[in-house]
Amino acid sequence: KEMGVFPLLTDFSYSHLLSPIPPAGGPVVDFSYVGIDAILEQMRRKAMKQGFELNIMVVGQSGLGKSTLMNTLFKSKVSRKSVLAAAQEKIPKTIEIKSISHDIEEKGVRMKLTVIDTPGFGDQINNENCWQPIMKFINDQYEAYLQEEININRKKRIPDSRVHCCIYFIPPTGHCLRPLDVEFMRRLSKVVNIVPVIAKADTLTLEERDFFKKKIREELRANGIDVYPQKEFDEDAEDRMINEKIREMIPFAVVGSDQEYQVNGRRLLGRKTKWGTIEVENIAHCEFAYLRDLLIRTHMQNIKDITSSIHYEMYRVRRLNENNTVVAHANGIPEHHLAAHEM
């Protein structure tokens, strides 16, 4: 030590550095744990930062409570009528497509909600081809997304204005679907997720409601109308079992209200009558709760996934094939060569 030389410890071992012995009573280390499950937390954090988007279209003739139902679904004034002054509201001579967006936040989760309204639908004496402006609007959103997608310098996150879901309001006649209802759903079910609802269901008795729902399901099957959730897109047996229960309830018989009442010491949304209060979220009174769960709590992501992977993908393939055909004709490539290439 005096010469500055330290003795060599020949019996020194590194084993205690490589495998430390945990102190008595300390945590036991699981050496088989890799940490793959941490990806879920990473995805959650990323999703929370980015937020979510949901675009809902409401279609139905005037007076069926479309705006009220949207306000009830999101428990805030999200409908177009809630923003537009009542004095300005009048039935348009032709179908107009109007959308309004809101940023909603709940428990730290942010969502950009866009509600697309179709004033004028079904309100004219002649409603022939009244579905065409709505079909055009839906396809225009697909086209806008496609053009952003095929850009050379495309955005890191493409704004999504595609219609994820169309809530179709059926008048509570208690008899059967009108030709307008059948034609609209038959054509639009091929390009968007349609969820049919019986509007203002409190005008029907329970027996009338059940008969009407059964009749509508029969007519949908007879006309080959596949509403959401579509049977062909069930991913597994568990999905099929859950979705079968939903398909048995379609169309949902709903009542909307943004008015709060005190009932037995509880504050709830409802419609007050001489005979009592119709509770919007009480499944014994109406099926609003089932509709809300489908659209928001259980199937929201699936609705968006089907829009992206099925409806938009079909539009994208068709458009790109059209472009290939145009380019081929311009370059003088024969039709049969082009068909062989596509196959």
Q: For residue 1, what are its two tokens? A: 């030590």
Pair 234, 243: CB distance under 8 Å: yes
Domain, as residue range, for 109: 48-78+91-258+286-326
Q: How confident is the model at residue 192, as a pLDDT?
A: 97
Weakest-pLDDT range from 28-37, 257-266, 330-339:
330-339
54 part of a folded domain: yes
Q: For residue 64, what are its two tokens? A: 């069926």
Q: How confident is the model at residue 208, as a pLDDT?
A: 95
52-80 pLDDT, tens digit per residue, is 999 999 999 999 999 999 999 998 888 77
Is it the case that residue 338 has pLDDT exceeding 80?
A: no
Q: How confident is the model at residue 12, as a pLDDT?
A: 47
Q: Which residues are 267's β-sheet partners?
A: 262
**Which CATH number goes with the domain that contains 150?**
3.40.50.300
If 0-12 CB within 10 Å is exposed, 13-18 middle and 19+ buried, where does residue 215 land? middle
24 part of a folded domain: no
176 part of a folded domain: yes
- Residue 327 banded pLDDT, cuts 50, 70, 90: low
- Residue 246 banded pLDDT, cuts 50, 70, 90: very high
Overall pTM > 0.85 = no
276 part of a folded domain: no
Read off the pLDDT of each residue in 324-328 and give the average, rounded to a whole number. Answer: 70
Q: How confident is the model at residue 207, as a pLDDT?
A: 94
- Residue 247 banded pLDDT, cuts 50, 70, 90: very high
Weakest-pLDDT range from 11-20, 101-110, 255-264, 300-309:
11-20
31 part of a folded domain: no
17 part of a folded domain: no
278 part of a folded domain: no
Pair 254, 199: CB distance under 8 Å: yes
Q: How confident is the model at residue 26, as a pLDDT?
A: 63
Mean pLDDT, the chain, whole residue set: 85
210-219 pLDDT, tens digit per residue, is 999 999 999 9
Q: How confident is the model at residue 4, as a pLDDT?
A: 53
Q: How confident is the model at residue 28, as a pLDDT?
A: 74
Question: How many structural domains are present in the chain?
Answer: 1
Weakest-pLDDT range from 87-96, 162-171, 185-194, 222-231:
87-96
Angle among Cα 135, 137, 139 to the nearest 5 degrees reads 70
96 part of a folded domain: yes
Pair 217, 327: CB distance under 8 Å: no
Ordered alpha helix ranges (H), 100-205: 132-149, 179-188
Is it the case that residue 287 has pLDDT exceeding 70?
A: yes
